Structure 1
Amino acid sequence: MEHAAAVADPAAPPGPAVPFFTQAAGFTARWPAIAANIGAVVDRGKYSHGPLVARFEQALADYLGAAHVVGVNSGTDALVLLLRAAGLEPGDEVVVPAFSFIATASAVVLAGGRPVFADVDPVTYALDPATAEVTAATRMVMPVHLFCQLADMSAVTGFAQRHALTVVEDSAEAIGMRWDGLHAGLSGAGGVLSFFPTKTLGALGDAGAVVTDDERIAETAAALRHHGRFGHTLDHFPGINTETAIAGVNSKMDDIQAAILLAKLDGLDADIARRATLAAAYTERLRGCPGVRRLPTIVERDVDTTPVFYVYVVEVDHRDALATYLAAHGIGTETYYPVPLHLQPCFSHLGHRRGDFSVAEAACTRTLALPLYPDLTEAQVDRVCSVIRAFYGGSGS
């Protein structure tokens, strides 16, 4: 095993497997409501972009406190459509963090723009605007809210104001998170949500949404998701009353996914509370563990903030060897993210080198996500932590 010398006691305590994610128990408990909603879809025969989508959009808008929610078929599409609806033009630059999922930067490219990378804060892993380079072509800044808390939106909005930039938020992971009362995605022009199955509010397939308080952005995103079809005259497209005022895509949300999400939305706050309990259990059991460099830390701000544990991410020594060891003992993990965005082959033309964004690069070698979902039990948390301690030569008890 790589770094085997770091492991004093290779024997981990026996126990059952712990998957990285499952929603089997929670899905079963909510099945009556889900089945009723799916039955309504089947009976009506409208399977895409139908009344269940509209119902979900309104229910979610009420939950978020947003003026508009536009359901689409993935969080990635939501980012692309938001950027276009917010006015990104071909060649415009968007400041994005170097530490994030590939969709953060690829969405900029797909919307016609050019990503400009910046480093991240070592505690929140979110965009550090002080490291961003702004040019005459920079038009937007896109913070990403990762893992359990929002980026420093005071710093981001201040940076945007100084450089006359539009703020758009990659809030795909951030449902339930708030900054001074505003839900994630609503501090600037708009944001997005992902409903990928592992997310805090997950579907049984891909789905996403654009969230905004801006009517024009909402109407444009809604048209873009449906081949550019407005179907009525808009003030900002004077004289146009046609189905294809702008070139759009097919990114409509399926009513089956809306039916599932609508049924699960009622239990979202309970799921968030359960995640917080499990995160606290992890922190208690892993505090002081040799080899664990950093546990999740919620940063105190000058404004009220609401953290939500989408995943529980630790920084550890010998990360890849630990992941292999956990897998050998039936415990699933995920690596966020093994390669920083500026070093991804698809962005090699931007000319970045290793060392350009040191905090992001260090995080890519150390961060590991442990199992965290409402179906998880505290006994399973004990099992995960015991195996981690065994790997580093500590007590497995």
Structure 2
Amino acid sequence: MTVPFFAMNHSFSSALPLLEEGLDAFLDQSGWVNDKQVRLLEQAIEVYTGAPFAIATGNATDSLIISLMALGIGPGDEVIVPCYSFFASLSCVLHVGATPVFVDIEPGGYGLDCALVEAAITLRTKAIMPVHLFRQMVDMQALKVIAQQHRLWVIEDSAEGIGMRWDGEHAGLIGDIGVLSFFPTKTLGALGDAGMILTRDPLLASRVRQIMDNGRDAAGLAQCLGYNSRMDDVQALWLRARMLELEPDIARRAAHCAAYDEYLEPLKQWVQRPVTLARDCLQRTVNYVYLIEVPQRDALAAFLTARHIGTEAYYPLPLHLQPVCEYLDYQSGDFPVAERASTRALGLPLYPDLTPASIGLVCTAIGEFYAAQGTAQ
């Protein structure tokens, strides 16, 4: 039996009739990029998240770059980012010519450790970029206090955050600007790359729309150096169809995680299961990845691969140790929590179409691996 890391055959098939129903209207449009279907998706996301402004883009990485540009961040500026994240959290800062300043993560939560942020602030700091990872949000209450005290922008990397809420507010709307990703593996996935920018600020929304469309204004005149990152209408049409199953899919993911928790309970001497960190504000978690921490992570991953079980290591090399950052002179040992996680964290298969039998198979294989090792170190 094969258990891929990600598969959505059934869920995608169920959305195809809805996609086909919309194709007639799509084919009758005069424009197929950043047109009517994109406007309808933006409106749907505004309703779902409560965002006053949702602007569709080509992908979430572009969304981060455009957000930095809209805030006027560039050469000479510093942006505080977690050292444990997808590479885009670093590359977006480098793309605008700014300098990333890394901060370690919260143990067990994997988000920016807000207790360490103030020590990283300098006179050149212009923004903080928290990343909401795997299943829960960064402590946005603490982060907002720091940002307000030091007059810093907050750019929320909510690429994994669709459906997550902090005290009733959707991820991406607590800071000044936020992004969503619709990469196919995400909780709300497109057929290819697609992203979204959220903000409450009408001026920022206007700047974003101009930048993402080659810097052009409503008359088509280039007012600034912009970016070509417009969403295809077919992606917008597909995402609108998939949104009908978003909340049921979130519930299915939660049920799968509960099943993993139960299966892995007897293995707790080896397997650290996901936790929800205690917060002062009520938060809604959404399970994007079921992330465990284990000894001999890479050997376990190879063992599972040999049994046709897909996994994903998160993140094998922290951002501060990436070759592109050598000029910043960070060293191994600078951020111990992230560096430890980078050798131990492993994502297990998690998607709505996953079956209880598949979850049992994965957990049985993990148990077999550690039984053969005879160690809990």
Same-fold call, TM cutoff 0.5? yes
Does residue 64 in structure 1 map to residue 49 in structure 2?
A: yes
Aligned length: 370
The match for 2:180 is: 193
Contact 1:38 1:260 in 2 (8 A): no
Match of 1:343 among 312, 315, 321: 321
User: Is 1:260 equivalent to 2:238 in the alignment?
Assistant: yes
Q: Is the 8 A contact 1:290 1:392 kept in 2?
A: no
Which residue does the alignment assign to 2:218? 231
Of 298, 311, 315, the residue aligned with 2:276 is 298
RMSD: 1.2
1:159-178 correspondence to structure 2 within 5 Å: 159-178=146-165
Q: Secondary structure at the match of 1:124?
A: coil
Alpha-carbon distance in 1 for matches of 2:168, 2:72: 26
| Aligned pairs (5 A) from 1:1-397 | 16-132=1-117, 133-231=120-218, 243-289=221-267, 292-393=270-371
Counterpart amino acid of residue 299 in structure 1: L
Deviations 1:335-356 (A, max 9, x none): 1100000000011110000000
Contact 2:29–2:36 under 8 Å retained in 1: no
* Deviation string, structure 1 residues 256-291 (Cα, Å, up to 9, x no partner): 100100110111000000000001100111123055
Q: Summarize the Cα distance change of 1:87–1:26 in structure 2 as closer, same or farther, 3 Å threshold.
A: same
Distance in 1, Cα, partners of 2:74 & 2:203: 16
Please tell me whether the aligned partners of residues 77 and 125 of structure 2 are also in contact (alpha carbons under 8 angstroms).
yes
Tell me which stretches of 4 or more aligned residues in structure 1 moved more than 4 Å. Answer: none
For residues 141 and 52 of structure 1, what CA distance do their matches in structure 2 show? 33
Counterpart contact for 1:20–1:332, Cα < 8 Å: yes
CA distance in 2, matches of 1:46, 1:307: 38
Shift of 1:362: 0.4
- The residue identity in structure 1 corresponding to 2:157 is D
Contact 2:136-2:164 at 8 Å conserved across structures? yes
Asked if structure 2 preserves the Cα contact closer than 8 Å seen for 1:292 and 1:314, the reply is: no
CA contact (8 A) 2:114 2:139 kept: no
Partners of 1:228 and 1:384 lie apart in 2 by 49
Q: Distance in 2 between matches of 1:77 and 1:307?
A: 25
Instruction: Name the stretch that deviates more: 198-207 or 81-90.
Output: 81-90
Contact 1:223 1:229 in 2 (8 A): yes
- How far 1:100 sits from its partner (Å)? 0.2
8 Å contact kept, 2:141–2:281: no
State the Cα distance separating 1:27 from its structure 2 match.
0.9
Q: Unmatched 5+ residue regions in structure 2?
A: 373-377
Change beyond 3 A, Cα 1:137–1:31: same
Q: 1:187 and 1:290 mapped to 2: Cα distance?
A: 35
Displacement after TM superposition at 1:44 (Å): 2.2
Counterpart of 1:355 in 2: which secondary structure? coil
Task: Give the secondary-structure state (helix, strand or coil) at the position aligned to 1:271.
Answer: helix
Report the 3-state secondary structure (helix = DSSP H, G, I; strand = E; otherwise coil) of the residue aligned with 2:126: strand
Matched residue type, 2:58: N
- Does the Cα contact within 8 Å between 1:291 and 1:317 map onto a contact in 2? no
Question: What is the SS of the residue equivalent to 1:294?
Answer: coil
How far off its partner does 1:130 sit? 2.5
Secondary structure at the aligned position of 1:249 is classed as coil
Report the counterpart of residue 375 of structure 2 in structure 1.
none
Report the AA paired with residue 253 of structure 1.
Answer: M
Contact 1:53 1:254 in 2 (8 A): yes
Structure 1: tracts of 5 or more residues without a match: 1-15, 233-241
* Contact persistence 2:90–2:100 (CA under 8 A): yes
Distance 1:45 1:322 in 2: 52
